[in-house]
């Protein structure tokens, strides 16, 4: 199918595992929304428009996300990665840098920032290092929402009440990330299939992104993540994800269930 070929060629995303009826429903919806005359007309638009490609991926639910997705994974990441990193940064006064790669609408990035802010409290105020969490995604539409830091009531349900009260400000029926959280966070557009713009991250969280790539593209992303991480840095994947194409000697396992690895 042409749409599938386009997503594969332009984004390296392999949707051949999706059911045909599901895909056809998504395409039909986009044909209607874009007022395209027919399928070939829509295909023409899709091929020439990055934004329409993002919209279609959104309709296919490829940027579905939530706060504290797999709660235990973030508990482990906080304890196994953020805590030791903060302790060592507190000693040498260096900046702590975390990358949330494929962050969709930002919930993962703010989740990491909440874990970071909570861990900071264990350090004396004068010893707290500077820290930043960079959220990146290929979808500009998703990033606009991430940057706003505003989420609906039903979207914040994964945030423990105590953290919601501490790090979000209620605005009518919505919640906005407070400065105590946004001070750590920034967002940028980045394509994981291209050479990374930034290197030497202390930790990278790349969850539920690799699953969409074809084997070849998966390997490209795995290599890019490896190059972006500093030695001894941590990498967390989604619970069902594995690293294809990385040599066994590249990482040691810190937490197998939560896919937390450490670069050797």
Ligand X SMILES: C[S@@+](CC[C@H](N)C(=O)[O-])C[C@H]1O[C@@H](n2cnc3c(N)ncnc32)[C@H](O)[C@@H]1O
Q: Which residues bind ligand X (CB under 6 A)?
A: 11, 13, 57, 62-65, 69, 102-104, 108, 137-139, 142, 191-193, 207-209, 212, 238
Residues 96, 202: Cα–Cα separation, whole Å: 6
Q: Are 60 and 17 in contact (CB under 8 A)?
A: no
Which of 139/258 has CB closer to ligand X? Answer: 139
Tell me how far, at minimum, the Cβ of 40 lies from ligand X, in Å.
25
Question: Residue 13 or 43: which CB sits closer to ligand X?
Answer: 13
- Report, in Å, the least distance between residue 1 CB and ligand X: 19
Cβ neighbour number for residue 12 with a 10 Å cutoff: 18
**Cα 132 from Cα 36, distance rounded (Å):** 43
Q: How far is the CB of 137 from ligand X (least distance, A)?
A: 5
Nearer to ligand X, 192 or 204 (CB): 192
Identify any residues that bridge with 235 across adjacent strands, giving them in sequence order. 204, 261
42 vs 212, beta carbon nearer ligand X: 212
How many CB atoms are closer than 10 A to CB 191? Answer: 15
User: Whole-number minimum distance, CB 241 to ligand X, in Å?
Assistant: 10
> Which ranges in the chain belong to alpha helices (H)?
2-11, 20-33, 39-48, 50-59, 71-77, 83-92, 107-120, 140-148, 161-167, 179-182, 215-228
Measured from the CB atom, the residue of 66 and 87 that comes closer to ligand X is 66
CB of 190 to ligand X, least distance (A): 6
């Amino acid at each position: 199918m042409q749409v599938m070929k386009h997503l594969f060629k332009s984004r390296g995303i392999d949707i051949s595992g999706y059911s045909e009826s599901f895909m056809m429903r998504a395409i039909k919806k986009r044909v209607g929304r874009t007022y395209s005359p027919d399928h070939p007309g829509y295909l023409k638009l899709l091929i020439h428009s990055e934004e329409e490609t993002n919209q279609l991926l959104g309709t296919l639910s490829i940027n579905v996300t939530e706060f504290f997705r797999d709660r235990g994974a973030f508990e482990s990441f906080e304890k196994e990665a953020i805590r030791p990193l903060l302790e060592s940064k507190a000693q040498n006064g260096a900046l702590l840098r975390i990358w949330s790669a494929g962050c969709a609408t930002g919930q993962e990035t703010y989740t990491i920032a909440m874990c970071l802010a909570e861990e900071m409290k264990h350090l004396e105020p004068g010893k707290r290092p500077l820290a930043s969490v960079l959220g990146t995604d290929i979808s500009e539409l998703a990033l606009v929402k991430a940057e706003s830091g505003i989420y609906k009531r039903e979207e914040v349900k994964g945030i423990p009440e105590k953290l919601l009260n501490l790090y979000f400000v209620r605005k009518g029926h919505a919640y906005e990330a407070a400065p105590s959280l946004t001070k750590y966070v920034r967002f940028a557009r980045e394509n994981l299939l291209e050479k990374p713009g930034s290197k030497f991250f202390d930790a990278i969280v790349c969850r539920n992104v690799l699953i969409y790539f074809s084997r070849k593209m998966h390997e490209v992303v795995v290599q890019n993540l490896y190059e972006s991480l500093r030695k001894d840095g941590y990498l967390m994947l989604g619970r069902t994800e594995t690293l294809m194409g990385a040599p066994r000697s590249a990482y040691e396992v810190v937490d197998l269930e939560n896919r937390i690895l450490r670069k050797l």
